[in-house]
Amino acid sequence: MKKCAIVFNPESGKPKDKKDILTLPALLSVNNYETIMCPTTKRGDASRIIKELPNDIDLVICCGGDGTLNESVRGNLLRRKKILMAHLPVGTVNDVGTMYGFTKNTIINAQMLLNGSIKNIDVCLINKRPFVYVACIGSYVDASYNTPRNLKKRFGRLGYVMNALYELKDKVKLFDLTYEVNGKKVTGTYSFVFVTNTCRMGGIDHIYNDVKLDDDEFEVVLCTAKSKAELLLIGSKILAGEIKNMPGLEYYRTNKFKIKFDKVPPSWVIDGEEYSHEEKEFVFSINKDINMMLPKKNIVKLFTSLENYEEMEE
């Protein structure tokens, strides 16, 4: 039999999700997998566990939110021998899981996964630290990690919105910076920087309609809006899907982006978690070492290479 390690966050998801995770070994056994259950107890555990897994593990499934997936990918990249990965979304917002095509039912998702396809995915790096779908900096974005757990447990995604609305009382943060991308060097004052490899952020779909997860590129948006009124106007247009040619936004698609702040900026948010630092300069690039088992639902939409998908369809 093949061997599968299930890394799961016992604090993520609803009671039904937690119960469903415990039934996964039986489902995996039918699919010829012997299962090792690996619960996390604190931040950083998923990275440590995956880094230390023995080399005879054939598949590692991380069950949790986007932050757990980030930790899992980070741990895998620290290995000499990388392990095939999979993700079962059991969090509050689940941007990545929704983008991949998963439902809200863990058992159905596991079945979709085991009948899915293996794809090589782009993993973005900020100063060599990996993130799967978003790195951002600016006012209010820290709601993704500083929203109190009781709000998230009681209100779900609405809890993040409530916390963000509370933070709107604060002034818009502005950053003097210089960036280099696609042969250009630009200096200016900005309120937000988003580096992403996703079509969905913060529960909002269709941020971009043409994102590919294997094209060796990511998307960069810098916002020049300096007031709350300007930000609200831009936000309303983003919801309408007008992000690429919108006044107040500078957009690029690239595989290398360098940004230097005049002063050490506050923490970045990467995949919903805080990335604290003491640096002024950040270099973004792409790593191609991770293979991911995915449901077939959105493969055609999200990938340029359809080789494995087509093989499984025959």
Per-residue pLDDT at 263 exceeds 50 = yes
Number of domains in the chain: 2
Looking at the predicted structure, is the pLDDT value of residue 157 above 60?
Answer: no
The residue range of the domain holding 91 is 2-115
What mean pLDDT comes out for the span 118-134?
Answer: 96
Q: How confident is the model at residue 314 (pLDDT cuts 50, 70, 90)?
A: very low
What's the pLDDT tens digit per position in 172-188? 889 999 999 999 999 99
Averaged pLDDT for residues 189-206: 89
Question: Is residue 74 located within the same domain as residue 39?
Answer: yes
Shared domain check, 147 and 97: no
Domain shared by 155 and 282, yes or no: yes
- Residues 103, 242, single domain; the answer is no
Query: Would residue 141 count as lying in a domain?
Result: yes
The reported pLDDT for the residue numbered 14 is 78
Q: Report percent pLDDT > 90 for the chain.
A: 65
Any domain includes 24? yes
Residues 157 and 188 in one domain: yes
pLDDT at 272: 85
- How confident is the model over 214-250, as pLDDT tens digits? 999 999 999 999 888 888 788 777 766 667 778 899 9
pLDDT score at 158 = 45
Does 153 score more than 50 pLDDT?
yes
- The reply to whether 49 falls in a domain is yes
Inside any domain, residue 310: no
Do 89 and 166 lie in one domain? The reply is no
Task: Work out the average pLDDT over 9-18.
Answer: 79
Cα–Cα distances in Å, from 83 out to 59, 164, 291?
A: 6, 37, 8
Distance between CA atoms of residues 308 and 10, nearest Å: 33
pLDDT > 60? residue 212: yes
Residue 28 sits in a domain whose CATH number is: 3.40.50.10330
- Are residues 200 and 91 part of one domain? no
Same domain as 156, residue 97: no
Mean pLDDT of 107-126: 96
* Residue type present at position 32: N
The C-alpha angle 63, 102, 308, rounded to 5 degrees, equals 95
The vertex-312 CA angle with 307 and 314, nearest 5°, equals 100
| Whole-number pLDDT of residue 154 | 53
Q: In terms of domains, do 7 and 68 share one?
A: yes
Q: What's the pTM value of the predicted model, to 2 decimals? A: 0.88
Q: State which H helix or E strand residue 77 sits in.
A: helix 66-77
In a domain, 295, yes or no: no
Question: Is 191 exposed, middle or buried (CB count within 10 Å of its CB: 0-12, 13-18, 19+)?
Answer: buried
For residue 242, the model assigns a pLDDT of 64
Last residue in a domain, options 67, 92, 115? 115
Say yes or no: 134 and 273 in one domain.
yes
DSSP 8-class letter at 131: E
In a domain, 168, yes or no: yes
Mean pLDDT computed over every residue of the chain: 87
Q: What's the pLDDT score for residue 10?
A: 82
Q: Is the pLDDT of residue 141 over 50?
A: yes
Same domain flag for 86 and 179: no
- Which CATH number goes with the domain that contains 157? 2.60.200.40
Has residue 301 been placed in a domain? no
Give the model confidence (pLDDT) of 281-292 as tens digits.
Answer: 999 999 999 999
Confidence at residue 312, expressed as pLDDT on a 0 to 100 scale: 46
**Given 115, 139, 174, which residue is the final one in a domain?**
115
- In this model, does residue 113 exceed pLDDT 70? yes
For residue 37, the cross-strand partners are: 6
| Mean pLDDT, residues 258-268 taken together | 96
Boundary-marking domain end, from 93, 115, 137? 115
Considering the domain boundaries, does residue 296 fall inside one?
no
Q: What average pLDDT does this structure show over 66-75?
A: 94
pLDDT at 87: 97
Residues 104 and 165 in one domain: no
| Residue 86, CA atoms < 13 Å, CB-side half-sphere | 27
